[in-house]
Structure 1
């Protein structure tokens, strides 16, 4: 289990690699604050001397301070999420060349002059012989496939194949299957993750995607010799112009995607009112109970008050400096030991979480809520 991410920081002619076991889903969130904050964030992770491959690495970023280039890739929940991330990064990284690494790890190693095949074994690109092609009836297909017929007209299908490049792995034989397949896809309600257009007369393949298409720069791919590739990056407009009028691509607004970026996982929880004292059931405006002990939201959850920084989320301390890094390492070690995802765990301090979590595990199936278990496992003090 995990969501592995790799980071590369280039500065003063040297580069270092860092690794996170759970941060692939938040690569964009770590990049949003800008170059300085992202660099501190990446350097707070474990430094390693090896490369992840395209199978295990689900997100990555390369920050080149010497050439002011940012390369990154991560899975986006939708087309709008990817476009919104690109737009915001262009604003928070002014003066930088911000690029999406469509070739995955190949783009990162190529940028460092190591070639694209460093993390790929010979013959890694697997092809297959499709037995047929059935257009999806979903209004939200993963990809859109279009084909120019001999008479010059264009037909289009929605496809549920996982990635756009899977249509290239099927080889040119897929074209004959497309011709024999009825176009049954209804009008789309959301943008796909990518699209492929075949023009057999011009022997040209056009492809666009908002996700990684590993191997796209190793053209020609197996069985596509004597064909030319028109790779459009994440620009869908070329295929949009070619599609028939009864098969338009929708243009969803970016408002919701931009709002999700603003409400990222690193956003701290709202301030809560002082919790009542467990012994007396009181909560005065000054945060003190009749026994004279100060009360706070931290004490309500952990049963103890402490000075210093309160770590609200496991990853909230990643960029907080040396003390925050120590706390993050302890919390990350404990989550790895129990097989927990740090994104699903809220930390208020180290020791209370260890005590609470250890007592929670045997009682998960007993029908008790986590709040009840936390109250019972915390020391009773005002």
Structure 2
């Protein structure tokens, strides 16, 4: 139980490493208000040595705050981690509250943070092995389960679109053999995702059989996915577009349509996210422990899980900073 994160402050060409058991989901809100507040927040967390690095399984968020170069690299959050339009607007606002700083999203998660400070990448990568026995491009049972979209160009005169569920890695890890397993009856010659689900997809991929090229984009962090896919798609061209979902619109010549972007709705969503009062996860933890003890079971708790350190700005200050950012978009 927890939302684990590594937080790093770089200063004078060295770095201090911190650990938080609870902030990965709230990290965008914790960092948004500017560097002076972010530094205070990070320094409140548990300072650890290099044994405190998380790996790509346990790290659900993290940040590098580089004082030497005025650069912030981070990822995390329950919302902006998976919603690219929401994240794009969030980062635009954050560029106003972090004026003079470079803000960068860590598309490869903990690997990006480790690489930034020169920590060996093999120590944060678990080398998970894909175990994919079979799959198809059939749509999910419910339309609102769609969170991935595929497009396949079979020839100059044939392109089909497939609404899917599961994320890009599930499908692309199968390699080129996936093309031979496609049931074309599931495909659409044109497709509007908003007709299936209200939620923006977390990823998509385009396979051009004629050019032996596979392209993909994704919202969530997937360390070294390009490197792994190059070995699967041997002698194919593999292109990663990170959060550029419009790359698939271009590749499908507009036959694939994503949701229209309502900036006002996204701003309302971000205001609610940033101004929401934080709940204390230790209350939930205490309740679970009591329930388990009442059932006669012994519970061992990670000592780090008993720390929940926050730097909460008064709501009036947060509102003022947020309105400044919105007014200067």
TM-score class normalised by the smaller sequence? 0.7 to 0.9
Separation of aligned partners in 2, 1:154 and 1:90: 39
Matched, 1:55 2:57: yes
Higher helix share: 2
Bigger relative contact order, structure 1 or 2 (CA pairs below 8 A, ≥6 apart): 2
Larger Rg: 1
Q: Deviations over 1:170-215 (max 9, x none)?
A: 2222222235452269632143112111122322221112221222
Shift of the 6–236 alpha-carbon distance from structure 1 to 2, 3 Å rule, reads: same
Q: Paired residue for 2:8?
A: 8
Separation of aligned partners in 2, 1:258 and 1:105: 28
Separation of aligned partners in 2, 1:211 and 1:237: 16
Q: Paired residue for 2:69?
A: 67
Separation of aligned partners in 2, 1:209 and 1:256: 22
Q: Paired residue for 2:152?
A: 147
Shift of 1:72: 1.1
Q: Paired residue for 1:178?
A: 182
> For 1:252, what is the secondary structure of its paired residue?
coil
Q: Tell me, which stretches of 5 or more residues in structure 1 are unaligned?
A: 269-312, 316-330, 343-382
- Matched residues, number: 280
Higher strand share: 2
* 2:202/2:219 contact within 8 Å kept: yes
Q: Tell me, which stretches of 5 or more residues in structure 2 are unaligned?
A: 290-304, 307-329
Separation of aligned partners in 2, 1:258 and 1:47: 35
Shift of the 169–175 alpha-carbon distance from structure 1 to 2, 3 Å rule, reads: same
Q: Paired residue for 1:40?
A: 40
Q: Paired residue for 1:168?
A: 172
Across the aligned residues of Structure 1 and Structure 2, the Cα RMSD in angstroms comes to 2.8
* 1:139/1:188 contact within 8 Å kept: no
TM-score (normalised: structure 2): 0.75
* 2:137/2:162 contact within 8 Å kept: no
Shift of 1:40: 1.0
Q: Paired residue for 2:293?
A: none
Separation of aligned partners in 1, 2:169 and 2:102: 26
Match of 1:100 among 93, 99, 105: 105
Q: Deviations over 1:75-97 (max 9, x none)?
A: 43533322222222222222222
Matched, 1:91 2:100: no
Separation of aligned partners in 1, 2:191 and 2:144: 6
Match of 1:194 among 174, 197, 203: 203
> For 2:182, what is the secondary structure of its paired residue?
helix
Match of 1:213 among 214, 217, 222: 222
Separation of aligned partners in 2, 1:179 and 1:314: 47
Matches within 5 A, 1:157-306: 157-161=162-166, 163-178=167-182, 180-183=184-187, 187-189=192-194, 190=198, 191-243=200-252, 245-264=254-273, 267=276
Q: Deviations over 1:33-67 (max 9, x none)?
A: 01121111011011122211111111111111112
* 1:164/1:196 contact within 8 Å kept: yes
Shift of 1:30: 0.9
> For 1:261, what is the secondary structure of its paired residue?
helix
* 1:106/1:115 contact within 8 Å kept: no
Separation of aligned partners in 2, 1:208 and 1:115: 26
Shift of 1:107: 0.8
Shift of the 73–115 alpha-carbon distance from structure 1 to 2, 3 Å rule, reads: same
Matched, 1:135 2:110: no
* 1:18/1:42 contact within 8 Å kept: yes
* 2:6/2:19 contact within 8 Å kept: yes
Q: Paired residue for 2:116?
A: 111
Separation of aligned partners in 2, 1:46 and 1:339: 24
Separation of aligned partners in 2, 1:23 and 1:84: 21
Separation of aligned partners in 2, 1:105 and 1:215: 11
Shift of 1:240: 0.9
TM-score (normalised: structure 1): 0.66
